[in-house]
Amino acid sequence: MSAVMITRKVRKWEKLPGKNTFCCDGRVMMARQKGVFYLTLFLIVGTCSLFFAFECPYLALHLSPAIPVFAVLLFLFVIAMLLRTSFSDPGVLPRALPEEATFIEMEIEAANGNVPAGQRPPPRIRNVQINNQIVKLKYCYTCKIFRPPRASHCSICDNCVDRFDHHCPWVGNCVGKRNYRYFYLFTMSLSLLTIYIFTFDIVHVVMRSVDKGFLNTLKETPGTVLEVLVCFFTLWSVVGLTGFHTYLISLNQTTNEDIKGSWSGKNRVQNPYSHKNIIKNCCEVLCGPTYPSVLDRRGLMEEDSSISATPVAPSSSSSTTSSSNPVPQTTKTTAPLIPNEHTPDDAKPSIAASAEKSPSPKEEHPPAKVPPLASPETDVETSITKDKTH
């Protein structure tokens, strides 16, 4: 009976539990579904190539050489912003380690008391106060953490993402705290590029038609028709999207919050993150500090694997591997799971009203004791301090 323990060093990205793909040894991170992202890339590169091939030589000669130069600069900027959005960590929150998950479970069970069999346990929510507004932190059953404010679990990437905006298949990634501004710059520059190409396509056709007639022009530059069609249909959606995100930025609101109606409708709850000033909101979203990734994707970790020469009892082998396994799903959840975890907020009834009501027994416990890894965010911690002083 002998077991040989082999320890090897692996990069942490190799063991990350979400549904992501990694390239360049963890430097590049994307969602697993990338088909639509390739379509985006193909449409942009394809349309611009046609423009450079068919219209630019004529426009540079007859109008100004600055037209192709500006088009190239704009094109490079669009591609840079697209890749920056697609290849980066959007703000994924690390899952709780097995020991942390067990600790949180124990805390929740202690707070809830004994729930009679067959009865649904109370929802796992903690309240924090942000700018005199009660904000609910929901428990994520997959990541085993109480999510920081504004975070949400992306079902496609299977990660909790900080300041989650939405999952964008066009860029093949989640849009969150760390890549939102690049996403916005991408939509903005793509709108400009589409308008630019569309406008100069028309100018080109008109100028050339004066010399050679409309039909001859279309025969000589067959790419123009395709470009005009692609630009025309792209224009509405991309310009509309840019307008929508400009509106959201001016209110310091996310798409997720807008869809859920977190700060509007019957709730009548004011957005606690808004500065009530468009300029300040824009500055915070677009010019605020950049946040480091908390995943440490390229960090090294040791992975133990035991090779036994003789058969080992299943219980002992499983305990060996589980002790070294960094993925937290192995932790057994003793509390029953609630399936509607990611469905729209069922606790919508006025937060303000619930704040006025006497708190439920669960909420009497230290309300915002956030687990160690649940919040790398300082804003949660500041809000906790506020809540305690409240």
Binding site residues, Zn ion, CB under 5 A: 140, 142-143, 153-154, 156-157, 160, 167, 174
**Whole-number minimum distance, CB 17 to Zn ion, in Å?**
10
Nearer to Zn ion, 50 or 143 (CB): 143
User: Of 48, 160, 168, 231, which is the active-site residue?
Assistant: 168
Place of tokens 């040791």: 302
Report, in Å, the least distance between residue 104 CB and Zn ion. Answer: 13
Contacts 24+ apart (CB under 8 A), 324-331: 325/98, 326/12, 326/15, 326/97, 326/301, 327/15, 327/17, 327/95, 328/17, 328/95, 328/96, 328/97, 328/98, 328/100, 328/101, 328/144, 329/17, 330/98, 331/98, 331/101, 331/102, 331/105, 331/144
| Residue 128 C-beta: closest distance to Zn ion, Å | 18
Rounded Cα gap, residues 188 and 238, in angstroms: 8
Nearer to Zn ion, 82 or 230 (CB): 82
Residue placing its CB nearer to Zn ion in the complex, 269 or 373: 373
Among 153, 139, 152, residue whose Cα is nearest residue 108:
139
Name residue, tokens 């501004």.
181
**Cβ burial 133-168 (10 Å sphere, 16+ → b, else e):** bbbbbbbbbbbbbbbbbbbbbbeebbbbbbbbbbbb
What does the alpha-carbon distance between residue 85 and residue 184 come to, in Å, rounded to a whole number? 9
**321, containing H or E segment:** helix 314-324
End-to-end CA distance of the chain: 61
Residue 164 vs 198, nearer CB to Zn ion = 164
Contact 51, 71 (CB under 8 A): yes
The distance of closest approach from Cβ of residue 86 to Zn ion in the complex, given in angstroms and rounded to an integer, is 12
Min dist. Cβ of residue 186 to Zn ion (A): 16
Give the number of other CB atoms < 10 A from CB of residue 356: 9
Which DSSP state fits 27?
T
- Residue closer to Zn ion by CB (options 92, 205) is 92
Annotated catalytic, 168? Answer: yes
- Please identify, using beta-carbon distances, which residue of 56 and 143 lies nearer to Zn ion: 143
Contact between residue 348 and residue 95 where contact means Cβ atoms under 8 Å apart:
no
The conformation of residue 346, written as its DSSP 8-state character, comes to T
DSSP string, 142-182: TTTEEPPTT-EEETTTTEEETT--EEETTTTEEE-TTTHHH
For residue 294, the minimal CB distance to Zn ion (Å) is: 14
**Shortest approach of Zn ion to residue 31 CB, angstroms?**
5
Q: Which is nearer to Zn ion, 143 or 197 (CB)?
A: 143
* Closest C-alpha among 72, 78, 13 to residue 41: 78
| Active site positions, annotated | 168
